[in-house]
Chain A
C-alpha cells in the first residue's frame, strides 16, 4: 500500500477516548428501516472512513450524526456523556460540523463573505454595530493560506474557485469555527485527480490539528489514501471496522459490494464482522 500512504503521517494512538461514539443506531422511516444497528466512533486526530455503496445508509447515518435526524434506537455519547441532538444547531454547538456535498457556498459571493456567512464578527455597538471587515478579510486569506490556497484577494468570488478549492474553503470554515468532528460527505466524488489530492492533503492537515474526520466515500482508493480506520456500511448495518494496514482495497471493495466474501475476510478483520 505504499503508493496509498501519500497523505498519511503516523498512526493515532488508540487509547484516546472517542469524541463522539454512536452505538447500535437504528433509524426507521415509517416501515422502512434505513439504519439497522450502526456503531461508529471518532477519536481526535484520526480519519475514520465510512464506506458504503449507494443506498447503504451513509446519508441517513451522517444526518443522524449531524442532528438532522433523531435516531429511533441507539445512543450517542460525546466525550462519554450521552447526548440528544434535537437540531443541527445542537450538533454544531457540540463541535460536530458537516460539510455536505452542496458545500453551503454561494458562488456569487466573495470567499470572505462565504467564510463568515451567518457568523459575521462585528465591532461597535447599537446602530454602529457593523462587520469587522478587516478582520474578516485577514482571517479568510490567512485560513486559506494555511490550507495551501493563495487567494487573489479576499473579495474573490467563490464561483471562480475550483471544486477542490471550494471544498477546502468549506473545510477551513468548519475548522475555524471550532469543529472537533468534521463530517465530509463524499468530498472527492466530483473532483479530478489533482483536486482530489488537494482535498486529501487538506484532510491530513485538519487531522493533524487534532480534529476527528469522518470521511464518507464510495471510492476505496481515496479512503485508503488518507484513512486510519475503515467502517463499511451495507444495507443499513455496519459490516465491521478495520484498521489501516489490516485490509486491502479488494477486501474493502468486496465488503461494500455486499460482503459475499465475508467468510474469508473474517481473519483479517479480527472477528469484528
Chain B
C-alpha cells in the first residue's frame, strides 16, 4: 500500500513547486539591498554633484574614508552573522592607536614588532569581550558597551601618560618613515604605474606632470582584500558554515558539533583586530594618534553591515554587502561636499538609510524563511 501512497505524495509535491524566476532568486541574496543602494546613491550624485566627484581623484577621495570604515564594517558583519555585536570597535581604534603610538614613538620599536604587538593586544581584548559574553550569557550589546567606555577612557589616560599630559601623541611619522614595512600600511600603492599612466596621458596630471592621483591608498587595497577573504571564508569554508550556524541558532549548532564558543570568541578577536588595523593605517597616515580616533565608528560600522544585509538577530548577512554598505557611506559623506546641499544632511540620510535597510532585511528574512 505504501507503494501506491508514495508516488502520490511525490506528485503532490512536484505540482506545488513553483518555478523561481531570476528576480526572486536575486532577492534572496543578502547583499542585494546594498548593491541597489550603491546604484541609487551613484545615480543621485551623478545628477546633483559636480562632475569632479566621479573623476579618478574624486573616487579615491570617497573610497578612502569608505575603506577605513569598511575594514571595521567587514569585521562587524562577520561578528553579526555569528550572532553577536561589538560596540567597542570605535574605542578600540583609539586604544590600538595608543598602543601603536606608544610602541613606535615611546618605545621606539620597529614596525615588525609594533604591528603584531598592537594586533595581539587588540585580539586579547576581543577575546576578553567574547569570553565574558559567552561565560555569562549576557547580551554582547551590554558587555561591549562597557568596553566602549573602558577603552575610550583608557586611551585618554594612556595618552596623557605616554605624551606627558596631552591627549595627542605626535611623532609617529618620524618614527616609522624609513621602516621597510611602512609601504604596506601607509601611503599609496602602485605609484610607478600611476606615474607611467600620467606620462602617457591616460590619467589627469598637475601642471608639473605629476599625476593628480599618485597611487591607490593602501587602505583601499586592504579593504578589498579583506572583503574578498571574508566572503571566501563565509561561503566556501567549514568555518564560514560554523559562523552562520552559531549565529542562526546556538543550540542547534552546538548539538551538531559546531564549536560555537571558539567560533564566537574568534570573531570577537577578528573584529577587534580590524579596529587595530584601521588604527595602524590611520595613525601612520596622519603621523599622530589622539583619543577621539574612531569616535562613533562602532555605530557606523554596524549600520554599514546592516545596509549590507546583516540581520540584527544573526545567522544571515554577507561581507560583500558590508563592503558596499561602507562605500555608500563614503560616497554620501564626501559626495555632499560636491553638491549644493548642506553637509549636515548626512546624519538624516544615515538614519533614513538604516531604517530602510532594516525594513528591507526584515522583509527578505520572512521571504527566505517562508514565515508569514
Q: Find out whether the CB atom of B369 lies under 8 angstroms from the CB atom of A108.
A: yes
Instruction: Compute how far the CA of A116 lies from the CA of B237 in the bound complex, rounded to whole angstroms.
Output: 12
Among the listed B10, B240, B368, which residue makes an inter-chain contact with A108, where contact means beta carbons less than 8 Å apart? B368
A191 at the interface (CB under 8 A from B): no
B251 sits at the interface (CB 8 A): yes
Question: Are the C-beta atoms of B13 and A201 separated by less than 8 Å?
Answer: no
The A-contacting residues of B in range 233-283, CB under 8 angstroms, are 236-238, 240-242, 244-245, 248-249, 251-253, 255-258
Chain B 320-362: CB-based contact to A (< 8 A → 1; otherwise 0): 0000000000000000000000000000000000000000000
Q: Which residue of B lies closest to A9 (CB)?
A: B2
The reply to whether B315 and A152 form a contact with Cβ atoms under 8 Å apart is: no
Whether A72 sits at the interface, judged by CB under 8 Å, is: no
How many A residues have CB within 8 A of the partner chain? 40
How many residue pairs, one in A and one in B, have C-beta atoms under 8 Å apart? Answer: 106
Q: B10, B244, B369: which contacts A159 (Cβ < 8 A)? A: B369
Smallest distance from the beta carbon of B167 to chain A beta carbons, Å? 41
| Interface assignment of A143: CB less than 8 Å from any CB of chain B | no
Find out whether the CB atom of B315 lies under 8 angstroms from the CB atom of A148. no
Interface size class of B (residues with CB under 8 A): 35 or more
B1-26 interface mask toward A, CB cutoff 8 Å, 1 = contact, 0 = none? 11001100110011001001000000
Q: How far is the CA of A3 from the CA of B13 in the complex (A)?
A: 24
Q: Given A6-B1, A149-B13, A118–B369 Cβ distance below 8 Å?
A: no
Contacts of B240 in A (CB 8 A): 131
Q: Complex formed: what's the CA distance from A157 to B13 in Å? A: 17
Residue numbers in A under 8 Å from B212 (CB-CB):
none
Contacts of A157 in B (CB 8 A): 28, 368-370
Whether A131 contacts B5 by the Cβ 8 Å rule is: no
Look across to chain A and name the residue whose beta carbon is closest to the beta carbon of B233. A130
B257:A119 contact, CB within 8 angstroms: yes
A148 engages B10 (CB within 8 Å): yes
- Which residues on the B side are within 8 Å of A231 (C-beta)? none
Q: How far is the CA of A110 from the CA of B253 in the complex (A)?
A: 14
The answer for the CA separation of A7 and B240 in the assembled complex, in Å, is 40
| B85 within 8 A of partner (CB) | no
In angstroms, Cα B242 to Cα A56, docked, is 36
Residue in contact with B237 in the complex, picked from A106, A107, A130, CB distance below 8 Å: A130
Which A residues, 183 to 206, have Cβ-Cβ distances below 8 Å to chain B?
194, 197-198, 201, 204
A102 touches B251 (CB 8 A): yes
Which of A89, A113, A133 is the one whose CB lies under 8 Å from B244?
A113
Given contacts A150-B17, A157-B370, A159-B370, A201 and B5 within 8 Å (CB-CB):
yes
User: Within the complex, what minimum Cβ distance (angstroms) separates A198 from chain B?
Assistant: 6
Q: Please determine whether A118 and B236 come into contact, CB atoms closer than 8 angstroms.
A: no
Contact with B along A77-92 (1 / 0, CB 8 A): 0000000000011001
Residue A120 is within 8 A (CB to CB) of chain B in the complex = yes
Residues from chain B with Cβ under 8 Å of A273 in the complex: none
Task: Please determine whether B369 and A160 come into contact, CB atoms closer than 8 angstroms.
Answer: yes
| Bound-state Cα–Cα, A104 to B5, Å | 29
Of residues 91 through 128 on chain A, the ones whose CB sits less than 8 Å from some CB of chain B are 92, 100, 102-109, 113, 116-120, 122
A122, A157, A161 — which one has the most chain B CB atoms within 10 A of its CB?
A157
Among A5, A102, A198, contact of B9 (Cβ-Cβ < 8 Å) = A198
For window 215-242 of B, CB contacts with A under 8 Å fall at 232, 236-238, 240-242
Q: Evaluate contact between B252 and A106: CB separation under 8 angstroms.
A: yes
A197 to B1, CA, bound (A): 12
Question: Is there an interface contact between B252 and A116, defined as CB atoms closer than 8 Å?
Answer: no
- Mask: chain A, 194-234; 1 = CB below 8 Å from B; 0 = not: 10011001001000000000000000000000000000000
Docked CA distance A133–B245 (Å): 16
Q: Interface residues, chain B, CB within 8 Å of chain A? A: 1-2, 5-6, 9-10, 13-14, 17, 20, 28, 232, 236-238, 240-242, 244-245, 248-249, 251-253, 255-258, 311, 315-316, 365, 368-371
Q: Give 20 pairs: A residue, B residue, CB < 8 Å, sorted on A.
A: A9-B2, A100-B255, A104-B249, A104-B253, A106-B245, A106-B253, A108-B311, A117-B256, A118-B242, A130-B236, A131-B237, A131-B240, A150-B17, A152-B20, A157-B28, A157-B370, A159-B370, A159-B371, A197-B5, A201-B2
